[in-house]
Amino acid sequence: MLDVLTAFAPDSPEFIRDPYPALAALREAGPIHFHPGRNLWLVTRHADVNAILRDRRFGRTYLHGATHEEMGRTPEPAWQAPFWRVVRNGMLDREPPDHTRLRALGGKAFRSHHSAESLRPRVQRIVDDLLDRALAKGTFDLLADFFEPLPVAVIADVLGIPAEDRPKLRPWSADMCAMYELGAGEAEGRRAVRATEEFEAYLRALVAERRARPGGDLVSDLLGVEENGARLSDDEVIGHSILMLNAGHEASVNGAGNGWWALFRHPEALAWLREDPAARSTRAVEELLRFDTPLPIFERYVLEDAEVCGVRVRRGAELGLLFASANRDPATFRDPDRLDLAREPNPHLAFGAGIHFCLGAPLARAEMQVAFETLLRRAPTLQPVEEPAWKPTFVLRGLEELRVRVV
């Protein structure tokens, strides 16, 4: 068992490049393993991960019912307080009843004017503009020149952030999201705090402006939305807006980059998709998210003593739900290591499940579908220039760059 656990090495470049053999060994060895080096229970199989995501004995946080000390955990250092205060004003790090209220209000505001389907024409315009500029270069980075600016432009457009301010968003998002890595240290934490403070100050000024002069953007809708007398505070609007950028941007970029690298490594699948991208891209996107998921691991905390996969786990323990392993589980997916763009059914967990299922999943899917269809149509002979390097991160797993050209 020790050898199997040793293979789980999220700090190792070799593991990050291809974690799937090690994850398969963990999954075959059992449904749950305690990793003493990380004080983490690793859950490997699809049925168990799916069930835990839907079980309210396990939460994204425990602070709605207990302190860190009461859960046997160490509080964050005081200097991290600005980061956690802002993050915990978003719905992702809340549990019911707060989560229920925040999700209802946030969802209502988003659906009112900004549904994924209504945004498709706007997404298409942004995609065409980015691709015009990228293709004019001849050789370009599919991530930096196309997939990275795409979700930033879409989300900033929805939030009502002026175009001249949007270059600030990507660095803020990247620095904040680095805090979620398993090996994040003080240097990453200090950068995350600084980014949080700058992002919060920027959004607080924007919120004050929209309170005085509402527009047709999502920030204005979030400030005005009401349900059964409940409304969002300024802090909650800021937390929701930051969550939209961070969750939507990092996962979308990595999902698209991982997906295209998988297509380049499977030319028969890419050829099949190129035959009819408009009809086949919807299923293809789902399979690419399953095959090389951009969020390989996500945590839950045990809110009360519970039996997990036949093992007694104490209150306060942390579960590492291995989405990447669950999405390759042969008990759920036939021939799971094969890229099958026509796969049906495809109950992957790339967007989570249960009450914390990604609220932005429809928009993320629409962005990927429009981007993939347009690339396949306008650049049908796109090819990689070289093998890309992977970022030194595992919680948010993606490529450093993906240089391509039309041949």
Would strands 139-141 and 403-406 be described as parallel, antiparallel, or unpaired? antiparallel
Out of 200, 236, 250, 401, pick the active-site residue: 250
Out of 173, 220, 241, 252, pick the active-site residue: 252
- Amino acid identity at 401: E
- Amino acid identity at 340: D
Out of 134, 358, 364, 366, pick the active-site residue: 358
Out of 95, 367, 373, 401, pick the active-site residue: 367
Catalytic status, residue 252: yes
324 neighbors 254 (Cβ within 8 angstroms) = no
Asked if the bond preceding 97 is cis, omega within 30° of 0, the reply is yes
| Cα–Cα dist 76/89, whole Å | 16
Say whether 320 sits in a helix, a strand or coil: strand
- Amino acid identity at 230: A
Catalytic status, residue 250: yes
Out of 22, 24, 247, 324, pick the active-site residue: 247
Catalytic status, residue 309: no
Name the CA radius of gyration of the chain, rounded: 21
| Cα–Cα dist 303/316, whole Å | 6
| Cα–Cα dist 378/128, whole Å | 9
Q: What separation in angstroms does the CA of 43 have from each of 5, 12, 49, 337, 355?
A: 12, 20, 7, 19, 19
Give strand pairing partners of 302.
58
With a CB cutoff of 8 Å and minimum separation 6, the contacts of 166 are 152, 153, 156
| Cα–Cα dist 301/71, whole Å | 10
The DSSP 8-state label assigned to residue 244 in this structure reads H
| Cα–Cα dist 229/132, whole Å | 47
* Residues carrying an active site annotation: 247, 250, 252, 358, 367
